Amino acid sequence: NAGVMQNPRHLVRRRGQEARLRCSPMKGHSHVYWYRQLPEEGLKFMVYLQKENIIDESGMPKERFSAEFPKEGPSILRIQQVVRGDSAAYFCASSAGSYNSPLHFGNGTRLTVT
């Protein structure tokens, strides 16, 4: 069952370190989305990518956050110089792209900044 694969499942970083979160979309999906979820809150859109292109990054913080989806390999969400406020669950999702296609989510990466 080749669903959306995210790793690591849990990630602990000290303040100032870098966090790299990986996401492999479902087979056949070329659209990838990253969402952030704070405890007891809904999912907030961060960025939407297609292969080698950032389509919509309106939800990304202006500094320290970046995302890529290279031609080969998984999509990467990178957070540089992490701060305590970055602690959250980060979800990746993929879809076939049409507006009636559901997003299929991975199990998320829970980032804890100490």
Q: Could you tell me which residues are beta bridge partners of residue 68?
A: 76
Give the chain's length. 114
**How many residues in the shown chain lie near another protein by CB under 8 A?**
27
CA angle, 26 as apex, 40 and 22 as ends, to 5°? 60
30 contacts another protein (rule: CB under 8 A): no
By CB under 8 A, name the one of 5, 45, 64, 87 that touches another protein.
45
Binding piece for another protein, criterion CB under 8 A, among 16-24, 35-43, 68-76, 79-87:
35-43
Is residue 90 part of the contact set for another protein (CB under 8 A)? no
Rounded to 5 degrees, φ, ψ at 107 are: -80, -5
